[in-house]
Amino acid sequence: MDITKLSRQSHRHDRPGLRLLNHFDLPGGRAHEFCGHGRRRLALWLAAADKQTDMASQILWIRPEWHPDRLHMAGVRHEIDPGRLMFVECCRPGDLLWCMEEALRSGLTRLVVLDLPEPPGLTPVRRLHLAAEAGFEKTGRAPLGVILTPGDGGAAGVESRWQLSPAHGAETDSWRLCRLRARTAPVAEWAVTRAGRGRPVVQMPAPEPGLEPA
CATH number of the domain within which 149 lies: 3.40.50.300
Indicate the DSSP class of residue 183.
Answer: S
Buried/exposed code over 83-99 (b: 16+ C-beta within 10 A; e: otherwise)? ebbeebbbeeeeebbeb
188 in a structural domain: no
Domain holding 101, by residue range, is 21-67+76-155
The pLDDT value given to residue 13: 53
What pLDDT, on a 0 to 100 scale, did the predictor assign at position 14? 66
Q: Is 51 among the domain residues?
A: yes
User: Which pLDDT value is given to residue 97?
Assistant: 97
Give the count of domains, the chain: 1
Residue type, 115: D
| Cα angle for residues 114, 192, 31 (degrees, 5° grid) | 25
Q: Going residue by residue through the chain (214 aa), what tens digit of pLDDT does each one get? A: 444 444 444 445 567 789 999 999 999 999 999 999 999 999 999 999 887 667 678 999 999 999 988 899 988 999 999 999 999 999 999 999 999 999 999 999 999 999 999 999 999 999 999 999 999 999 998 999 999 999 999 999 999 999 999 998 877 889 999 999 998 899 999 999 988 778 899 987 655 444 444 4
CB 110 within 8 A of CB 144: yes
Q: Is 52 domain-assigned?
A: yes
Please give the distance of CA 6 from its chain centroid, rounded to a whole number: 21
Alpha carbon distance 49, 61 (integer Å): 16
Domain assignment of residue 162, yes or no? no
Contacts of 42 (CB under 8 A, 6+ apart): 20, 34, 36, 162, 164, 177
The identity of residue 12, as a single letter, is R
Distance CA 169, CA 158 (A): 32
Decide if 81 is inside a domain.
yes
Q: What is the pLDDT of residue 195?
A: 81
Is 86 part of any domain?
yes
Helices and strands in the chain: count of H runs, count of E runs: 4, 11
Answer whether residue 85 is part of any domain. yes
- The answer to the question of residue 34 being in a domain is yes
Residue type at 173? Answer: D
pLDDT value of position 9:
43
